[in-house]
Amino acid sequence: MHYNFDEVVDRSQNYAAKFEEAVLHYGTNNVIPLWIADMDFRTAPCIVDAIKARADQGIFGYTWRTPKYFESVANWQQKRNGWLPDVDRMAFAPGVVPGMRMMLTMFTQPGDKVIIQQPVYHPFADVVNNTGRELVVSPLKRDENGYYTMDYADFEKKAQGAKYFILCNPHNPVGRAWTKEELRKVGEICVRLGVRIISDEIHSDLMLDGHKHVCMASVSPEIAAITTTCIAPSKTFNLAGLQSSTIVFDDVERKDAYVAELKKMDIARNNCFSLVATMAAYEHGEPWLDELLVYLSGNMRFIREFCAARLPELKPNTPEATYLCWIDARALGMGDEELKKFCVEKAGVAFGEGAEFGFGGSGFLRLNAACPRVTIEKALTQMEKAVHSR
């Protein structure tokens, strides 16, 4: 490998939320923080070089977005996912979730139904509830091997009268890389019922073990006509702190209305570093990403092998995408608060709490595997000791 993903980076001066904010969620910072979804790896050197070169200019004024910016996004999507989005329908967003919130407030009314599939990234439910829309949940189905699928009959029944469906593709936290056929089935239900789709594809570059990402808007012209796609380099290249995402709208009119609203709030521009970092990532970051995916796949295998041999009470899944491992901890026989307290106080590990992800999440843990393998080994060893000393 050209890049050292085994390096343990000192983040004590990094103002890292996953370390500094652990006390807000777990009552202490004295934990191994595997809860929040950013990486403990240095980003691609090409991105660091681009930011350094921009910093060396010494002027950090209002930043104009060159046409090359959205062209780099489109070219990346075409190369990695076989989908060429229209740059004329692209808009900037400071983040995927803020973009979702804006779309719901602009294109729906209070009380309108919005459907999601739980367990799922908890801001989906938050953004619906916090905008006064009616949250509708269609649970995913889980088989005895921990493999999740969509419940199309339940979805069709509950999507009646919904204005929007927020899709997680690929799925956080269960790690599914939805197939074209799966997306076609749920997309055709939305077409038939007149439900528009917001497809969160922020994890779409993090495909493991040869799995391929299918963009919802690439499935069919009919589905593309109702689908708005949210993408970003933040998960892929560990750039969440730069706050730069792209929304690809289903039509120019909605895009123009959204951009007009951004301008009213004076947040329509990139900052000077997110501009150059995004272009550097998409134009030169592919070799780094390809090596990262090999390392992440190795981390997932390590977790499964460790638990099978030494900690069978925990049953990790085999994610097809993302750097998030979804672990069934129900064999420990604990309620959610008891499980959280046990992990923090007895094992010294802060996992993502399964219950936060909604229906079907109780008794589960989400482990962020985007860190050096030695960190994962330490966390699981501490869990092993805590479980076996009960």
337: Cβ contacts below 8 Å, ≥ 6 apart: none
Alpha-carbon distances, residue 108 vs 129, 131, 272 (angstroms) = 13, 10, 33
Quote the tokens at residue 343: 């992990």
- 170 exposure class (CB count in 10 Å sphere: 0-12, 13-18, 19+): buried
- Give the Cα separation of 18 and 37 in Å (integer): 8
What is the percent of the chain with per-residue pLDDT over 90, rounded to a whole number? 98
pLDDT band at residue 12 using 50, 70 and 90 as cut-offs = confident
390: Cβ contacts below 8 Å, ≥ 6 apart: none
CATH number for 17-44+287-388: choose from 3.90.1150.10, 3.30.420.40, 1.10.3720.10, 3.30.1370.10: 3.90.1150.10
* pLDDT (average), residues 313-322: 98
CB 128 within 8 A of CB 136: no
For 34, the 3-state DSSP assignment is strand
DSSP state letters, 52-120 = HHHHHT---------HHHHHHHHHHHHHHHS----GGGEEEES-HHHHHHHHHHHHS-TT-EEEE-SS-
Alpha-carbon distances, residue 210 vs 206, 297, 324 (angstroms) = 10, 10, 17
* pLDDT (average), residues 247-257: 97
Looking at domain 61-284, does it have CATH number 2.60.40.2380?
no
* pLDDT (average), residues 316-320: 98
For residue 207, give the DSSP letter: B
Report the sign of the C-alpha dihedral through residues 124, 15, 233, 140, in that order.
negative
* pLDDT (average), residues 10-15: 90
Instruction: Report whether pLDDT(1) > 70.
Output: no
pLDDT, position 164: 98
For 149, the 3-state DSSP assignment is strand
- Give the Cα separation of 184 and 203 in Å (integer): 19
* pLDDT (average), residues 96-115: 98
For residue 367, give the DSSP letter: E
- Reported as a single tens digit per residue, the pLDDT across 201-225 is 999 999 999 999 999 999 999 999 9
For 297, the 3-state DSSP assignment is helix
CA of residue 143 relative to chain centroid, distance: 23
Q: How many CB atoms are closer than 10 A to CB 220?
A: 16
- The pLDDT mean for the chain works out to 97
> 355-385 in b/e burial notation, b at 16+ Cβ within 10 A?
bbbbbbbebbbbbbbbbbeebbeebbebbbe
- Per-domain residue ranges of the chain: 17-44+287-388, 61-284
* pLDDT (average), residues 21-36: 96
* pLDDT (average), residues 31-53: 97
- Reported as a single tens digit per residue, the pLDDT across 46-99 is 999 999 999 999 999 999 999 999 999 999 999 999 999 999 999 999 999 999
- Give the Cα separation of 51 and 267 in Å (integer): 21
- Give the Cα separation of 344 and 338 in Å (integer): 10
362: Cβ contacts below 8 Å, ≥ 6 apart: 336, 354, 355
CB 31 within 8 A of CB 344: yes
